Amino acid sequence: MYAALWRVLPGPWWVRVLILLVLLAVVLSVLVTWVFPWVDSLLGPQEGTVGP
């Protein structure tokens, strides 16, 4: 799968690495912005107490 992705990307190896880094940043941004808060709302609050 990764080899197929590498072959599909245009340009020399350094452009491919740059494209992959940008794609990784976009995926992580989407996860942190929308997906993780949505999953957190589904799980509900967790009551935690700290005793002496």
Higher-confidence residue of 52 and 27: namely 27
9, 20 contact by CB (below 8 A): yes
Cα-Cα-Cα-Cα torsion 26, 28, 29, 33, nearest 10 degrees, comes to 140
- Please state, rounded to an integer, the average pLDDT across all residues of the chain: 90
The answer, yes or no, to whether residue 48 has pLDDT greater than 80, is: no
